[in-house]
Amino acid sequence: MKYTQLGRTGLKVSRLTLGTMNFGPLTNEPDSHAIMDAALDAGINYFDTANVYGWDENKGRTEEILGTWFTKGGERRDKVVLATKVYGNMATDGKPAWPNHDLLSAVNIRRSVEASLKRLQTDYIDIYQFHHIDRRTPFDEIWQAIDTLVTQGKILYAGSSNFPGYKIAQANEVAARRGSYGLVSEQCLYNLAERSAEMEVIPAAQDYGLGVIPWSPLHSGLLGGVLKKEGEGKRRTGGRAAEELAKPEKRARVQAYEDLLDKHGLAPGEVALAWLLTRPGITGPIVGPRTPEQLTSALRAVDLDLSDELLESLDEIFPGPGPSPESFAW
């Protein structure tokens, strides 16, 4: 495994992040533990989760699965850089959140940290992330809550997820004014097929020293060889990938992508991950394996060298938006 600094921090993290969203809903506890053991054995030290994972009636279940894994010992907790998130409504049965039981008020941040620590069976969280922007809560209040938790030793760093560039700037300018450390990471949707983050989110993150952690690196399977799997009867495409493939232009691009990699003898999913590792400002993508085999495939991407010729061909198939503001101003 290769490692890099997380943004401007001194924290070393693996170039792949283990995403745990499937643990509970799609992968049972024993298999989830086996995948985490395999990831740790392979050198992945950055694990990402969220308080709402488990979804619906089982919100919090994913954090609980990590917690029981940590209790197995073997320095599991000490070896892992643990990231979780706050924002979502934790109510079940489709009920609305009780007042102050969601979003980013100081009250909910404090309550949510305590609940996550209990489920995770740990006394600290390395990176506590805001899962979305909260338009109603000022950053002064958010940083007051975060600084208190840092002083208490319950969290070490704060990160963001799904923030636009201007909110990254706003958050860190308020933090600087207060003498707070500010955001150290941003998780955003970014992959070969969805490159809008290149316009403002990634440049803002770079300017403010945030590590960028792309989620959905295969764009819901669209970049994982979906057309070939469809043709072989191995996969029935649904969700976002099906919506994209219903558009003739998008389907043609995916076909060109698969044809290009077939010519080079490369696996589409591994190339999609390896491409992200070549991009400026990227710490490492989140991979969310449902099986050990999927984890093994993702690990191969770390050592996959993409030629300049191949990178140029990928840009031709999936062109980026260009820099901001030139891409829309001139």
Domain that holds residue 117: 3-223+267-314
* Structural domain contains residue 117: yes
Contact between residue 126 and residue 81 where contact means Cβ atoms under 8 Å apart: yes
β-pairing verdict for 3-5 and 12-14? antiparallel
- Tens of pLDDT along 246-287? 899 999 999 999 999 999 999 999 999 999 999 999 999 999
Q: Is the pLDDT of residue 157 over 90?
A: yes
pLDDT band at 76 (very low <50, low <70, confident <90, very high): very high
Round to whole Å and give the CA distance between 180 and 108.
20
For the chain, give the mean pLDDT.
96
The most confident of the ranges 91-95, 184-188, 292-296 is: 184-188
Specify if 257 maps to a domain.
no
pLDDT at 235: 67
pLDDT of amino acid 33: 98
User: Other C-beta atoms within 10 Å of 149: how many?
Assistant: 20
The number of folded domains in the chain is: 1
Average pLDDT (312-319) is: 98
| pTM higher than the cut 0.75 | yes
Please check whether residue 323 lies inside any domain of the structure.
Answer: no
In a domain, 122, yes or no: yes
Confirm whether 320 is domain-assigned.
Answer: no
Residues in the chain: 330
Does residue 140 lie in a domain region? Answer: yes
CATH of the domain at 170: 3.20.20.100
Q: Where does the pLDDT of residue 96 fall: very low under 50, low under 70, confident under 90, or very high at 90 and above?
A: confident
Is the pLDDT confidence value at 65 over 70? yes
Catalytic residues: 53
HEC string of 268-300 equals: HHHHHHHHHHCCCCECCCEECCCCHHHHHHHHH
Q: Is residue 325 part of a domain?
A: no
